[in-house]
Structure 1
Amino acid sequence: MSPAKPLIGVIDTPGEERDALAETIAREGLAVYAADSLEALPEEMALVVAHARAVPRDDWTRLAARLPTLVVSDERQDADLLRAVDAGLVDYIVDPLRHGSLLRRMIGKAIEVHRLAVEREHDRKRLAKLNADLEELNESLETHLAMLRLDQQAGGQIQRKLLPTRPQTLSGVTFDYWLAPSLYLSGDFLDFQAFNTRYSLFYFADVSGHGASSAFVTVLLKYLSNRWQHEWDGEHPEALAAHWLAALNRELLDAGIGKHATLFVGVIDHQRRYLHYSLGAQLPMPLLVTDTGVTPLPGEGMPVGLFPGVDYPKLGCQLPEHFRLWLCSDGILECLPGDTLDLRLRELERRVLASETLEDLRGSLALGPLANDDDGIAESSPGHEELPDDLTIMMVSGFGNDRS
């Protein structure tokens, strides 16, 4: 179906001249409606051709506001023509019957210009509405982000309150740490507690990912470790670490949250100066520094929370009078030079061997000074933008290394 022809209105006094004007316009197949006043025209006009003599002086402005209008006149010096032009009409032509071809081209051009103007106005209004909607959406998003940031900050404060006070010395063994989340919440976690005067228990965990979901797993870990410690009767310390890892593996799988973790769990027998431990895919491996050098603790185990029915190793080693045991989350690898994992691990061994304190290792990694309280640790950590992953360092030292 061919598109409807635009309807052209002709305003002129009735008579042969008006009929001739209408006929001149209609020669190009345009639809024409002739009337003697603006009020007599139908609403669907695309354009009006008005004779200067047929429109009262006060109607030109009203006509120009309603429809694109061409003015025609028989004489160039017609006073009515000048008033029409001053009112802002589209254009004018003198002696239209003689210049019919020009008149029709002017009509076509005026219709096209008007159509484009209408489209631009439509686009402008649509863009203005879109901008208003985007502004409202941005304000709503900023509000939600601010609320989320406050929630994350509050969650980070609660998570830090779950961490043990640092540093602590338990029966001649000193525990110290530094934890920096890449966001407000961390997937890294650790704890150490004295079971009695003979045994102290500690663990070091790195939950996959970071942020809120990983932080929830660390809260679960804190709860479960406290429960399991209260259930332990102090017998068979060599089996406790492996039992904890197996139990946590079942808990994470049963929860179905799609999170797993690497863990190191240790039990220090202060009487024997012996470390019972088990591990689940710890990387980097814990590094034991003694008077003879630095050695990664032997052993291997599966990640916790990935595979059912996993048995974790029961491992142990004698602790000399002077030792430093270093545990680091894999975020530390991002702070070390080297093109390969092996080169970075060797660099870590070199740096922990040269570090007497936690402050020394942090300084070698250019991580800034160490704060003396949990909130200070979080505030002085790089965090948020500078770290691609959570970063945690823990040092366990004793027995002759006790400087308290």
Structure 2
Amino acid sequence: MASPRVLIGVLDQPGRERDVLAETIAKGEFAVVSAERAEDLPEEVVLIVAHARAVPSHEWPALTARRPALVVSDSRLDNDLLKAVDAGLVDYVIEPVRHGDILRRMIAKVIENRHLAEEHARDRERLAELNESLETHLAMLRLDQQAGGHIQRKMLPPRPQTLAGVTCDYWLAPSLYLSGDFLDFQRYDDDYSVFYFADVSGHGASSAFVTVLLKYLCNRWLTEWDGKSPEELPSRWLSDLNRELLDTGIGKHATLFVGVIDHEERRLHYSLGAQMPMPLLVAEGRVNMLEGEGMPVGLFPGVEYPNLNCALPQKFQLWLCSDGVLECLPGDTLDIRLKELERLVRDCESVAALREKLALGDVSNIEEDIVARHAPGHDELPDDLTIMTLSGFDDDDA
């Protein structure tokens, strides 16, 4: 079935010249209807070819407002040609009958451009609708993320808190609303307290879900522990968590440090899975990096994690930082940045002091009124950043 022909309107004074012009256009895909006034053309007309002599110059703006239009003339000296173009006509043709092929090609091009313009207009409308819908969905997602961040922060321990002479303080700033960093510090009984420091790969919702799983599992394992063999508890937790993460199949892994503090013996039993940077123990003005190494948790099956321990002096400070801190330290190499971190923790007595040394004093803390408005630090931090300190035993309140 042949495609319907495109209807072109010709505006000219009646007579032989108008008929010839109409016949010149009415070839191939075009059909032509002629009239002396634009009001007499049918609505189906998609383009008007107007002769300069048939339309007074003051009527050109009204004509172009109806439909796209071409103006034709038999003379280059016709002053109305430029007036017509200035009024909005898309182009003009001199001696249209003589240049019939050019005229038809110009008509086809104008119609094509008109169709493209209409498609672009429709696309802009659809894009505006999609943008509005996207903004709505982003607002809903933002509210969900804020609510999730609020719940995640409620799972964190009080800060600061002192258990049997050991004081725990920390600072946690997500790069987005939710964090892949997490920590906890709990008292088991008068003899032992347990803590862990985790950095889940990535950040955002999926990493935050893993921290929820970690909190649940560690609470359950702590209630199941009988208080015996504290030296084996950290490595057993890491092995169990490694298996749990692999079984979920979510493709997430974590670096972890798990410690049990023996308050009576003043000894730290610990195990670790690829902790970076390593915990730093500050005592008597010296900084020592804890020994040991272990595989990340949740990457490989059947991993065995080490059983490690060290004595805790009468007055000590143990620093743990997530790898986000490395982004805030000067230096071109990892070794230089780690040395700088050692220097800073030796000179700092609190988390707030280290934040100031790292030029993080203006990054929002974890206060609820600030977090409710925006993700703390997301404009300033390239990654989640967490700092945790454990200090004692000089203020023993056991």
State the TM-score bracket (shorter-chain normalisation).
Answer: 0.7 to 0.9
How far apart in 1 are the matches of 2:272 and 2:309?
11
SS of the aligned residue for 1:238 comes to coil
- The counterpart of 2:129, out of the listed 132, 136, 141, is 136
Is the contact between residue 70 and residue 107 of structure 1 (CA under 8 Å) also seen in structure 2?
no
2:377 is matched with 383
Is the contact between residue 327 and residue 395 of structure 1 (CA under 8 Å) also seen in structure 2?
yes
Q: Which consecutive residues of structure 2, in runs of 5 or more, have no partner in the other structure?
A: 64-70, 76-93
Q: Structure 1 residues 142, 370: closer, same or farther in 2, change over 3 A?
A: closer
How far apart in 2 are the matches of 1:189 and 1:103?
79
How far apart in 2 are the matches of 1:171 and 1:104?
103
How far apart in 1 are the matches of 2:273 and 2:137?
38
Shift, 1:92, TM fit: 5.3
Q: Structure 1 residues 192, 71: closer, same or farther in 2, change over 3 A?
A: closer
Shift, 1:343, TM fit: 0.3
TM-score norm. by structure 1 comes to 0.79
Q: Structure 1 residues 383, 402: closer, same or farther in 2, change over 3 A?
A: farther
1:323 is matched with 316
How far apart in 2 are the matches of 1:140 and 1:24?
51
- The alignment status of 1:400 with 2:384, answered yes or no, reads no
1:332 is matched with 325
2:87 is matched with none
Larger Cα-atom Rg: 1
1:97 is matched with none
| Greater Cα shift, 81-90 or 212-221 | 81-90
How far apart in 2 are the matches of 1:83 and 1:358?
83
- The alignment status of 1:354 with 2:347, answered yes or no, reads yes
- The alignment status of 1:62 with 2:55, answered yes or no, reads no
1:291 is matched with 284
Shift, 1:120, TM fit: 2.5
2:179 is matched with 186
Shift, 1:136, TM fit: 0.5
Is the contact between residue 181 and residue 384 of structure 2 (CA under 8 Å) also seen in structure 1?
yes
How far apart in 2 are the matches of 1:85 and 1:225?
86
How far apart in 2 are the matches of 1:24 and 1:340?
80
How far apart in 1 are the matches of 2:55 and 2:338?
90
Alignment: residue pair count: 365
Cα RMSD after superposing both structures: 3.8
Instruction: Note the alpha carbon deviations across 1:40-84, whole angstroms, 9 max, x for none.
Output: xxx952575x8xxxx7xxx56424984645669xxxxxxxx7679
1:279 is matched with 272
Q: Structure 1 residues 216, 296: closer, same or farther in 2, change over 3 A?
A: same
How far apart in 2 are the matches of 1:32 and 1:310?
81
Q: Which consecutive residues of structure 1, in runs of 5 or more, have no partner in the other structure?
A: 34-42, 73-80, 95-100
1:98 is matched with none
- The alignment status of 1:45 with 2:25, answered yes or no, reads no
Instruction: Note the alpha carbon deviations across 1:161-190, whole angstroms, 9 max, x for none.
Output: 000011010011101100000000000000
- The counterpart of 2:304, out of the listed 297, 307, 311, is 311
Shift, 1:116, TM fit: 2.8
Instruction: Note the alpha carbon deviations across 1:77-114, whole angstroms, 9 max, x for none.
Output: xxxx76799976944559xxxxxx95522544443333
Identical pairs, percent = 58
SS of the aligned residue for 1:350 comes to helix
How far apart in 2 are the matches of 1:371 and 1:106?
73
Shift, 1:356, TM fit: 1.1
1:345 is matched with 338
- The alignment status of 1:159 with 2:156, answered yes or no, reads no
- The alignment status of 1:267 with 2:260, answered yes or no, reads yes
Instruction: Note the alpha carbon deviations across 1:240-284, whole angstroms, 9 max, x for none.
Output: 000000000000001111000000000000001111000010000
Q: Structure 1 residues 32, 395: closer, same or farther in 2, change over 3 A?
A: closer
Shift, 1:363, TM fit: 1.0
One-letter amino acid of the structure 2 residue matched with residue 384 of structure 1: H
1:206 is matched with 199
TM-score norm. by structure 2 comes to 0.80
* 1:217-256 equivalences in 2 (<5 Å): 217-256=210-249
Q: Structure 1 residues 226, 107: closer, same or farther in 2, change over 3 A?
A: same
How far apart in 2 are the matches of 1:359 and 1:144?
37
Instruction: Note the alpha carbon deviations across 1:107-157, whole angstroms, 9 max, x for none.
Output: 444433332332222122111111101101110111111111110000000
How far apart in 1 are the matches of 2:309 and 2:340?
25
